Amino acid sequence: MAIHLVKIACELLASRRCGPDRLGVSLSQWDCQELARKRVADGVVTGISPQTARLAATRVGRILNHHRLKPWRKHLWLSPDVPRDAAFAACVQHIVDLYTRPLADHEVVLCVDEKTSLQPRTRISPTLPARPDLPVRVEHEYQRKGALNLFAAFDTRTGKVYARTAERKRQVEFIAFLEQMDREVPATITTIHLVLDNLPMHKGKQVRAWLAEHPRFVFHHPPVHCSWMNQVEQWFSILARKRLRIADFADKAALSERLMAFVSHWNERAHPFNGSTKSVAKVMAKCQLALAA
C-alpha cells in the first residue's frame, strides 16, 4: 500500500498534465487527506469513515515523510534559454568583479532597473491608525487612479539611490533618467558602469545613439534570467516593504512625491549591501559541471 501511495505522489507524465490531473482528479496538488481518499477510490484500502479520516490522513503523512515526499509543496524553477556554458560563466564573473574589485577614483557602479505599475489606490474610507490591541486598519475598497513607473539606480559602493518617476516606460523615459544621472553624478566620475537587464528598451536605437554621445556611461548586462544579480532589486524589496506595503495615496502626483521623499530619506542613511557569494558560487559550480560534461 505504501508503494501505491508513493507512486501516486510522484507520478508524472510526458505531457503538461501531471499529479492529480493525470489521474482524473481536479486538484493542482495532493494533500494527505486527498491522497487517502484516492487510495479508497482505487480500492487499495476500505472505506474511510468521518471518524477515521483524520487518522488515515495522518498515516499517509507518515508514509510520505518516511520517503521525504511533500507533494503539497511547490518550488519555481526555470528551464534556461541561455545555456550555462563558458560564455555564461564569463558574463557572471564579469558582473561579480564589478561588484567586488576596488574601483578607481573616476569610477562608479550603478545597478539600474524599473519598478512598474505602482498604483495610488486611494481608499474609500481613511486609513485608521493603530490603537491598543488594534493594528493599522486599511479600507478594503479603493479607487484606481492609474499607475506610475519608478526608474532607480543603486550605487553598489555607497548605497545612494538615483530615482525618477514616469507615467510610461519607453526609451524616451529611460533616456530622461540617464540624463538625470548625467547631471547628478559628479563630472570627476568619468566612467559610470551601469548594470541592467536585457530589456529591449535598454538596447534600443535611441538609447544606443545617446550612449554614443555620452561615452562615460558603460552598460553591463547580466545573463538572461539573472535578475538576482542586480542589487537594485534588493532595494526595491525594501521600498515595497517600507513604503508600498500600504498603498493609499490621493493620486499619482502624491505617490510620486512620497516615492521621492522615501529616496531622500534612504539617501540620508544610505548603505551598500553586503553581498553573499553563495548564490554566485552555486551558479558557477553548475557552469563548471556543464563545461566538464
pLDDT (tens digit, 9 = 90+) per residue, 266-278? 999 999 997 656 6
Residues 6+ apart with CB under 8 A from 190: 106, 107, 216
Stated as kind and residue range, the H or E segment containing 192 is: strand 191-195
For the ranges 9-18, 32-41, 56-65, 193-202, the maximum mean pLDDT occurs at 193-202
pLDDT at 173 exceeding the cut of 90 = yes
Look up residue 228 and give its three cell numbers: 538576482
Mean pLDDT over all residues of the chain?
86
Residue 60 DSSP SS3: helix
Please tell me the predicted confidence (pLDDT) of residue 46. 63
pLDDT (tens digit, 9 = 90+) per residue, 180-230? 999 999 999 999 999 999 999 999 999 999 999 999 999 999 988 888 889
Please tell me the predicted confidence (pLDDT) of residue 14. 37
Please tell me the predicted confidence (pLDDT) of residue 111. 98
pLDDT at 279 exceeding the cut of 90 = no
pLDDT (tens digit, 9 = 90+) per residue, 40-63? 777 766 655 655 667 777 888 888
Look up residue 20 and give its three cell numbers: 492529480
pLDDT band at 109 (very low <50, low <70, confident <90, very high): very high
Please tell me the predicted confidence (pLDDT) of residue 13. 42
Mean pLDDT of 153-173: 97
For the ranges 7-16, 61-70, 96-105, 154-163, the maximum mean pLDDT occurs at 154-163
The answer to which of 7-11, 164-168, 282-286 has the lowest mean pLDDT is 282-286
Closest CA to 248 of 149, 129, 131: 129
Residue type, 290: A
Please tell me the predicted confidence (pLDDT) of residue 147. 95
pLDDT (tens digit, 9 = 90+) per residue, 176-188? 999 999 999 999 9
Could you tell me which residues are beta bridge partners of residue 194? 110, 219
In angstroms, rounded to a whole number, what is the distance separating the alpha carbons of residues 174 and 207? 8
Angle at the Cα of 168 (from 175 to 154), degrees rounded to 5? 55
Residues 6+ apart with CB under 8 A from 184: 162
Please tell me the predicted confidence (pLDDT) of residue 288. 67
The alpha carbon dihedral of 209, 230, 264, 107 has a sign of negative
Q: Which domains does the chain have, with CATH numbers?
A: 2-66 (no CATH), 86-127+139-289 (3.30.420.10)
Residue 281 DSSP SS3: helix
Please tell me the predicted confidence (pLDDT) of residue 16. 47
Q: Are 127 and 136 in contact, with CB atoms under 8 Å apart?
A: yes
Please tell me the predicted confidence (pLDDT) of residue 15. 40
Residue 23 DSSP SS3: coil
In angstroms, rounded to a whole number, what is the distance separating the alpha carbons of residues 73 and 29? 8
pLDDT band at 107 (very low <50, low <70, confident <90, very high): very high
Closest CA to 195 of 157, 234, 229: 229
In angstroms, rounded to a whole number, what is the distance separating the alpha carbons of residues 93 and 3? 46
Please tell me the predicted confidence (pLDDT) of residue 274. 79
Query: Phi then psi for 62, rounded to 5 degrees?
Result: -65, -40
Please tell me the predicted confidence (pLDDT) of residue 121. 92
